[in-house]
Amino acid sequence: MALIGKLVVCGVGLIGGSFALALRRAGAVGRIVGMGRSADSLARAVELGVIDEAATGWATALDGADLVLLAAPVGQMDALMAAMAPHLNPDTVVTDAGSTKRDVIEAIYRHLDAHLANVVPAHPIAGAEKSGVDAAFPTLYEGRKVVVTPLPENAASAVERVRAAWAACGAVLSEMSPADHDRVFAAVSHLPHLLAFGLVHDLAGRANAELLFSYAASGFRDFTRIAGSHPEMWRDICMANRQALLGELDQYLAELAFLRALLLSGDAAGLEQLFDEARRARNAWAEQQTNIVTE
């Protein structure tokens, strides 16, 4: 018997679609119903075999649902939860794939307060540079981390069901508080995205942009790869996590002020020491990352 009889995926793109494909491949799911803003995209998801059917509304979608994954940009979570609340069965477990957690949890308390035992926030650490259901693939989560940030009100059985679903996708589970989660990802994910978007935007606005880009090489390519990420998704993440992100940005600005002072004073030894410390830390990290899959 399947772990999940009926699964509802709201937002069938790279993240939601890959979750569906992974659970199907693991034999962990019976029927998969998709919800989303775009009928074309849902039709494509049916055509690709990612979902069994596209639901026309929350009432039918949620009827008899065992698990719901909300995989839409975090800016939509509030409206989604408001819309689904009236149709949600007490036994249905709900989780999300949002890259920020405190804002999603605020929406949960606002709209799903009658279901707090069964609404378990989580965040799969998997790339989203290429978006859309065509980019989904069943092994996206193999060996990747999924951070669960349970609510105090969560039933242990609901947390376990969410963990088991992600484990069936091949993911490695961990738990964190929502505040810690948002601070950690502001530093290692949200800030680098902001910096990469900023550099490309800066250069693209120059009078000699074409000349500059013509000499950009593979260092530039990798540094700016995440500037190809989805603007709406990253707008939502930056807005949702802007307190922590502003804190990280300010700390980074202090680092750049230090680097600027080293350059201005011609402190070659200071620069080399900083570069050397960074290289050691970066290489030590990279050596531990044997199982990172290209996003």
- Applying the rule CB under 8 A, the residues between 265 and 284 that interact with its own copies are 266, 268, 271-279, 281-283
The strand ranges marked E within 29-121 are 29-35, 53-54, 67-70, 93-96, 119-120
For the bound state, the minimum distance from the C-beta of residue 57 to its own copies, rounded and expressed in Å, comes to 28
Residues 6+ apart with CB under 8 A from 16: 9, 10, 34, 69, 71, 97, 136
Task: Kindly state whether residue 261 participates in binding its own copies, applying the rule CB under 8 A.
Answer: no
Task: Kindly state whether residue 224 participates in binding its own copies, applying the rule CB under 8 A.
Answer: yes
For the bound state, the minimum distance from the C-beta of residue 169 to its own copies, rounded and expressed in Å, comes to 16
Task: Kindly state whether residue 215 participates in binding its own copies, applying the rule CB under 8 A.
Answer: yes
Q: Both tokens of residue 20?
A: 């569906």
> Which CB atom, from 48 or from 274, has the smaller least distance to its own copies?
274
- Choosing from 63, 129, 153, 160, the residue that interacts with its own copies (CB under 8 A) is 129
Task: Kindly state whether residue 226 participates in binding its own copies, applying the rule CB under 8 A.
Answer: yes
Residues 6+ apart with CB under 8 A from 228: 129
Task: Kindly state whether residue 239 participates in binding its own copies, applying the rule CB under 8 A.
Answer: yes
- Choosing from 112, 116, 125, 155, the residue that interacts with its own copies (CB under 8 A) is 125
d(CA 205, CA 245): 24
The strand ranges marked E within 152-253 are 172-175
For the bound state, the minimum distance from the C-beta of residue 294 to its own copies, rounded and expressed in Å, comes to 6
**The one segment of 53-61, 78-86, 153-161, 256-264 that binds its own copies by CB under 8 A:** 256-264
Crossing angle of helices 77-84 and 102-111, in 10° steps, is: 20
- Choosing from 29, 83, 285, 290, the residue that interacts with its own copies (CB under 8 A) is 285
Task: Kindly state whether residue 130 participates in binding its own copies, applying the rule CB under 8 A.
Answer: no
Closest of 184, 159, 182, 189 to residue 101, by C-alpha: 182
Sign of the C-alpha dihedral computed for residues 137, 143, 145 and 150 taken in this order: positive
For the bound state, the minimum distance from the C-beta of residue 137 to its own copies, rounded and expressed in Å, comes to 15
Separation of CA 118 from chain center: 21
Q: Could you tell me how many residues of this chain bind its own copies (CB under 8 A)?
A: 91
Separation of CA 82 from chain center: 21
Residues 138-197 that bind its own copies (CB under 8 A): 144-145, 147, 184-185, 187-189, 191-197
**The one segment of 23-31, 54-62, 108-116, 240-248 that binds its own copies by CB under 8 A:** 240-248
